[in-house]
Amino acid sequence: MISNLIIRKQALFICFCILFAAFSFLLIPSSNVKAGYQGPENIDTMWDGWTNITEKGIQDPLIRWHYYWKDGLRIDSPEKNFTLRTNLSIMVDGGDIGADDELQRAFPDLEGPNVEFRQLRVSFFGTLYDWAEFKLSIDFANVRDIKDEWIRFTKIPYIGHFTVGHMKEPFSLEDWTSGKSRTFMERALPTQAFAPGRNFGIRRHTTALDQRMTWALGAFLNTGSFSDMGDSKEQIDEANGWDLTARVTGLPWYEENGKKLIHLGLSYSHQFRGKEDVGEQFRARPESWLTDDRLVDTGEFFTDSADLIDVEFAIVNGPLSFQGEYFHVLEDSDAMGNPSFWGFYLFGSYFITGEHRNYGRKSGTFFRLEPKHDFRPFKGGWGCWELTSRFSYIDLNSEAIRGGKEFNFTAGLNWYLTKKTRFMFNYIRAKVKDREIHPAVEDGSADIFQARFQIEF
């Protein structure tokens, strides 16, 4: 008991050190004070001046290419026939997991403190003339995991936007929302388990009804994430079937440029399987990447096909918002009795400082929030503060498969210092029941305290 208390105190101390170091980093400009410093307002003046210089950038005198910094490092050709933007995204997580005796017996490595890079991602986004866009995104926090590798043709007659490459399948509001813009540190249990995520394929996406509706349709090989560009062909050759996935969203209510809205959406994916040497598997971490343990897990089983259905909604009314999704999976697996699995989540968010969630009408998702006032205490700006809570549930028990049930409650606090910098604090109470697949868990629970510092250059 005493040793566990000491470990948890150490974990909290580590989290504090991470947050303090990150906070100090944000104040680096204030250390560049010359002898003529006369007050805090000079720091802001110097910082604004430096920002203006970097945004203006420089021009190559020979080929007249423009190099500058604006939401990342940018390069433009003279006529802007070619543009390139480079970004670096960093997420550092720290925290502590405590488990009761039953979960500790089942997962001996679950308990304890941990600190890790959740994301260390370099992204390149560019355009070619006015007919093509491309993106390459590599996450070095996860053994060089290639997230995006695609090219999009924007002016194909009668088709419009058409994307080819490695990308997300159009499924689930939470999964399609960028990780840098999500309300919680990690996706909810059913989103982790059921959303197809990224695969290699083709996708068509467009809007209708004056951007009050979006629809997307794609066909994808079930390759999973690429660990290396050189392995791409091999993974494509060994793909476990393919998916036909579609998503449609609508805005029955949209006012004040998104300050008030109702979002409704429906996703569907038919997954063609049947490869004998590769099986299907659904599992989820306890909404924390501090552990590799999956508290619910179907194990690997063989199936001919699967149908995934997702119903989504969101309501925004100024600083108050709610969002939820319901997932259902139907398996065509005679050997396992044709099981079905399901889950849902519901969360609420409230901005103490009066902001509201930003909605992208072209994508049918929420995107990065921009505080009314950035963190500039010398000018009375303290950033944006958001209170959050979420309940999520997943049931992986059906017919011959007994992967367990999990209920999670999360309470969170987000502090946005700027639109690209934030601290996140999540407390998660996870409860697992009726898992019979090894390791078996009859009724266990865990408490997770975790924090994140996130910044993008």
CA–CA gap between residue 287 and residue 101 (Å, rounded): 20
DSSP string for 257-274: GGTEEEEEEEEEEEEE--
Which DSSP letter does residue 140 get?
A: G
Q: Give me the residue label for tokens 């501090």.
A: 290
Beta strand residue intervals within 319-437, DSSP E = 320-332, 340-351, 358-360, 365-367, 375-376, 381-382, 384-398, 401-418, 421-435
Phi, psi of 46, deg, nearest 5: -60, -40
Q: What is the pTM of this model?
A: 0.87
Sequence-distant (≥ 6) Cβ neighbours of residue 429 within 8 angstroms: 408, 409, 410, 445, 446, 447, 448
Token pair recorded at residue 52? 């203006």
SS3 6: helix
Q: Residue ranges per domain, the chain?
A: 2-456
Q: 2-456, superfamily in CATH? A: Porin (2.40.160.10)
Written as tens digits, the pLDDT of the chain (457 aa) is 444 544 444 544 445 455 544 544 444 443 343 444 445 556 566 666 766 777 778 887 888 899 998 888 999 998 889 999 999 999 999 999 999 999 999 999 999 999 999 999 999 999 998 899 999 999 988 766 788 999 999 887 777 789 999 999 999 999 999 999 999 999 999 999 999 999 999 999 999 999 999 999 999 998 766 555 445 555 565 667 899 999 999 999 999 999 999 999 999 999 998 666 567 899 999 999 999 999 999 999 999 999 999 999 999 999 999 999 999 999 999 989 999 999 999 999 999 999 999 999 999 999 999 999 988 887 778 999 999 999 999 999 999 999 999 999 999 999 999 999 999 999 999 999 999 999 999 999 999 999 999 999 8
**Sign of torsion over alpha carbons 333, 335, 338, 342:** negative
